[in-house]
């Protein structure tokens, strides 16, 4: 009981010190008083969307990125159909899953390159032509559809007829039609009639203009390789550069007016969507020493974590280098979780740089209306890859990659 009282007192003292370090102001409910951001660069982007109860962040993020590209190119504002890309990816994924006798990931996940693949081969549609909503919902709810599709392809590879029928794809399309709607052969948009290929031609985006860039040591730098993550069912390749050059690509892109599609791990406790922040706090309290450190060590793991991830005071972050980044990827501490859209950057009160990131989790009742701020340290440690226009890559790096 006494030991618990000491812990409680020490925790209270640390928390009170943390709060007093912020501004000496009374903390306002629902606001992150530890960090106040000033936007330094904000590139044009379309409105925040909501993927809701679907595992389709990859389509929402990449569609947002393409919409921003259309704005950058002076083509106006478009609302492209995320679910058209989802539908076509499921068709291609099922075909490959069957050809691989089930030795392939089959689910709702995907990568940015899946959208480019569909744009190249199957075109695109506006949201008004293909919403993917068939049951009266205003937002996507895909749990049942995903389960039904997985059950269907699992039964196909069991091959109960001892010979795969020629009509299995019709059955697959029947499921997709029921849940997402039939794909129209043509549609009206701005008083003109298009099909998906013609609409993509009208957009004028060339999928070959976009490159994926990451930083890993298990492949040579300045080479490309098929990224070994489960959702890379398409076996898409990324370009590999040293960590500092990966960050240089990001900064050069934003300064040059190009937004960036970002694939990252968001499973860290320092990823705080509610408060609109993502950080990698240092793993120890270096400011404590002697008796204070001894008392810190007596705190429970839960109490220590409460202090580490209390962002009512600005935090020191851990050091990230090439080795630590690779180790986290190798030991599954960094995984392919989520895709988002980087549209600019800001600074906090100390002048520290944070990247402004658009999410696809809606904007209602959110502190930054669907955006959040991600530290450079978090980007360095938890990025899987960026997708960016190849003209945004600094010339010296592009030359090494032989664009």
Tell me if 92 sits within 8 A of 189, measured CB to CB: no
- pLDDT at residue 301 in the model: 76
CA dist 150 and 156 (Å) reads 10
Between the two ends of the chain, the Cα-to-Cα distance in Å is: 67
* Cβ–Cβ under 8 Å, residues 22 and 33: yes
Cα separation of 23 and 35, whole Å? Answer: 10
> CA-CA distance, 240 to 385, in Å (whole number)?
9
- For 93, the enclosing helix (H) or strand (E) is helix 82-99
Write down the pLDDT at residue 334. Answer: 98
Residues 108, 102: Cα–Cα separation, whole Å: 15
Indicate the pTM of the whole model.
0.89
Strands 260-264 and 383-389: antiparallel
Among residues 246, 224, 238, the alpha carbon closest in space to that of 116 is found at 238
Distance CA 27, CA 347 (A): 21
Nearest residue to 358 (alpha-carbon basis) of 60, 59, 66: 60
Report the sign of the C-alpha dihedral through residues 306, 309, 313, 319, in that order: positive
- Exposure on the CB side of residue 161, measured as CA atoms within 13 A: 7
Q: In sequence order, what E strands does 217-352 have?
A: 224-226, 237-240, 260-264, 271-272, 277-278, 338-347
| pLDDT for res 330 | 98
Q: Residue 3 has what pLDDT?
A: 41
Per-residue pLDDT of the chain (403 residues; tens, 9 = 90+): 434 333 333 344 344 334 333 333 333 444 446 899 999 999 999 999 999 999 999 999 999 999 999 999 999 999 999 999 999 999 999 999 999 999 999 999 999 999 999 999 999 999 999 999 999 999 999 999 999 999 999 999 999 999 999 999 999 999 999 999 999 999 999 999 999 999 999 999 999 999 999 999 999 999 999 999 999 999 999 999 999 999 999 999 999 999 999 999 999 989 999 999 999 998 655 545 566 667 667 778 777 777 767 888 888 999 999 999 999 999 999 999 999 999 999 999 999 999 999 999 999 999 999 999 999 999 999 999 999 999 999 999 999 999 8
| Per-residue tokens: 311 | 């962002």
pLDDT at 289: 56
Q: If 0-12 CB within 10 Å is exposed, 13-18 middle and 19+ buried, where does residue 208 land? A: exposed
For residue 93, what are its two tokens?
């994924």
How does 72-108 read in b/e, with b if 16+ C-beta sit within 10 Å?
beeeeebebbbbbbbbbbbbbbbeebbeeeeebebbb
Tokens of 128: 């008004």
Domains of the chain, with CATH numbers? 38-280+317-401 (3.90.70.10)
3-class SS of residue 14: helix
- Take residue 29 and report the two structure tokens written for it: 């409910």
Q: How far apart are CA 112 and CA 109, in angstroms?
A: 10
Residue with tokens 């002697």: 290
């Amino acid at each position: 009981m006494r030991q618990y009282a000491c812990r409680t007192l020490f925790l209270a003292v640390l928390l009170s010190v943390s709060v007093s370090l912020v501004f000496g102001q009374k903390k306002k409910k629902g606001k992150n008083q530890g960090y106040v951001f000033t936007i330094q660069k904000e590139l044009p982007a379309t409105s925040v969307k909501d993927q809701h109860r679907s595992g389709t962040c990859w389509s929402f993020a990449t569609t947002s990125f393409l919409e921003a590209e259309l704005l950058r190119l002076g083509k106006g504002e478009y609302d492209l159909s995320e679910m058209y890309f989802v539908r076509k990816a499921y068709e291609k994924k099922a075909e490959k899953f069957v050809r691989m006798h089930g030795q392939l990931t089959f689910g709702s996940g995907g990568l940015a390159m899946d959208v480019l693949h569909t744009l190249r081969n199957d075109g695109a549609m506006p949201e008004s032509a293909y919403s993917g909503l068939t049951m009266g919902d205003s937002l996507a709810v895909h749990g049942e559809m995903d389960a039904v599709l997985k059950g269907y392809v699992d039964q196909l590879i069991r091959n109960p007829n001892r010979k795969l029928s020629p009509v299995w794809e019709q059955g697959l399309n029947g499921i997709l039609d029921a849940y997402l709607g039939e794909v129209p052969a043509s549609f009206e948009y701005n008083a003109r009639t298009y099909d998906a290929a013609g609409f993509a031609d009208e957009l004028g985006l060339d999928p070959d203009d976009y490159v994926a860039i990451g930083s890993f040591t298990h492949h040579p730098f300045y080479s490309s390789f098929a990224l070994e993550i489960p959702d890379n069912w398409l076996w898409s390749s990324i370009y590999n550069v040293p960590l500092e050059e990966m960050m240089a690509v990001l900064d050069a892109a934003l300064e040059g007016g190009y937004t960036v599609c970002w694939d990252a791990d968001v499973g860290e406790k320092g990823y705080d969507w509610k408060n609109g922040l993502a950080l990698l706090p240092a793993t120890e309290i270096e400011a404590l020493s002697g008796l204070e450190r001894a008392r810190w060590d007596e705190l429970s793991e839960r109490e220590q974590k409460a202090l580490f991830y209390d962002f009512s005071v600005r935090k020191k972050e851990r050091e990230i280098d090439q080795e630590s980044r690779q180790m986290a990827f190798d030991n599954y501490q960094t995984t392919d979780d989520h895709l988002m859209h980087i549209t600019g950057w800001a600074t906090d009160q100390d002048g520290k740089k944070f990247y402004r990131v658009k999410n696809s989790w809606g904007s209602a009742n959110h502190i930054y209306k669907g955006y959040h701020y991600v530290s450079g340290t978090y980007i360095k440690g938890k990025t899987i890859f960026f997708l960016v226009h190849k003209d945004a890559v600094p010339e010296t790096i592009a030359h090494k990659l032989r664009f």
